[in-house]
Amino acid sequence: MNAREEVLARLRAARDAGAPRDGVPPTPRDYRRTGTLAPGSAEVVDRLAETLTDYKATVHRVADEDEVSAAVAGVLEDAGVTTFVAPPGLPARWLGEVTARVRPDEPPLSVARLDEVDAVVTGAAVAIADTGTFVLDASAPDQGRRAISLVPDHHVCVVRAADVVSSVPEALARLDPSRPLTFVSGPSATSDIELDRVEGVHGPRRLDVVLVGPM
């Protein structure tokens, strides 16, 4: 028997030898599958702003997409950013007022190049208000391959109200598991020293979120 056949044979024997006498009950799904706040509502965006802030992201609220570019420009200027990377499909209007130099990831930048830029600006696929999370889909044109939102030390993420949901189940239902996904909740952190949270380790140490939508 090769390893595959043998491991499977062992597990089949064990599955039967250890089968519970009364069988396995069906999985109860009576937990909440929709959140308390309506997707895209002013309330759910408010809650997201709170939970993001709890985990040390800096939140910038704007009323509509016309105001994004001023907000992004302000964040980059504030942080003294001179160059930043952007995924190939980032909406050009988000960068209209930005003075820092953009390096489009097209053709893909080398890791060494990514290490030289000061920041990255992306969109997001969905955001979860209950947990202060946004999710990056590496196959989405405004989010880009995973390395670009990882290597630069400062991440600016633009989240649209329409993509904000209340709960984890609602978010997963909107995501495609065949694509590489990154769930981000605050800047990188560690609890490894005395189980106390310290922000900023290997991932971007600074995280700004521009929240677009009803206020």
Partner 1 sequence: MTTDLGMPTTAPDGVGFLRGTESFPVAAHRALADTQLRRNLGHATRTIRGKRARVVAEVPDWEELRRAGEAIKADTMARLPELLEQLEEAVTARGGVVHWARDASEANAVVASLVRGTGADEVVKVKSIATQEIGLNEALAEQGIAATETDLAELIVQLSDDRPSHFLVPAIHRNRSEIRDIFLRALPGVDPDLTDEPRRLAMAARAHLRRKFLSARVGISGANFAAADTGTISVVESEGNGRMCLTLPDTLITVMGVEKVVPRWSDMEVFLQLLPRSSTAERMNPYTSTWSGVTPGDGPQAFHLVLLDNGRSNVLASPEGRAALHCIRCSACLNVCPVYERAGGHAYGSVYPGPIGAVLSPQLTGISGPDDPNASLPYASSLCGACFDACPVRIDIPNLLVQQRAASIASHRTPTAQDVAMRTVAAAMVSPARFRAAERVLGLGRFAGRSGRIRFLPYPGSQWTSARDLPAPPAETFRQWWKRTRGSQS
* Min separation Cβ 96 and partner 1, Å: 28
* Min separation Cβ 124 and partner 1, Å: 14
Query: Based on CB atoms, which residue is closest to partner 1, 96 or 108?
Result: 108
Residue 149 DSSP code: G
Torsion of CA 136, 142, 147, 148, to 10 degrees: -120
- Sequence-distant (6+) residues with CB within 8 A of 215 are 42, 45, 61, 63
Query: Based on CB atoms, which residue is closest to partner 1, 52 or 95?
Result: 52
Query: Based on CB atoms, which residue is closest to partner 1, 100 or 135?
Result: 135
* Min separation Cβ 112 and partner 1, Å: 7
Query: Based on CB atoms, which residue is closest to partner 1, 72 or 184?
Result: 184
Query: Based on CB atoms, which residue is closest to partner 1, 68 or 165?
Result: 165
Query: Based on CB atoms, which residue is closest to partner 1, 47 or 69?
Result: 47
* Min separation Cβ 86 and partner 1, Å: 16
* Min separation Cβ 104 and partner 1, Å: 15
As a whole number of angstroms, the distance between CA 56 and CA 29 comes to 33
* Min separation Cβ 64 and partner 1, Å: 28
Q: What angle do CA 9, 13, 16 make, to 5 degrees?
A: 140
CA-nearest of 69, 77, 86 to 121 is 86
Burial of residue 189, with CB atoms counted within 10 A of its CB: 0-12 exposed, 13-18 middle, 19 or more buried: middle
Distances 111 to 105, 152, 181, 183, 203 between C-alpha atoms, Å: 11, 10, 19, 21, 14
CA-nearest of 61, 70, 124 to 95 is 70
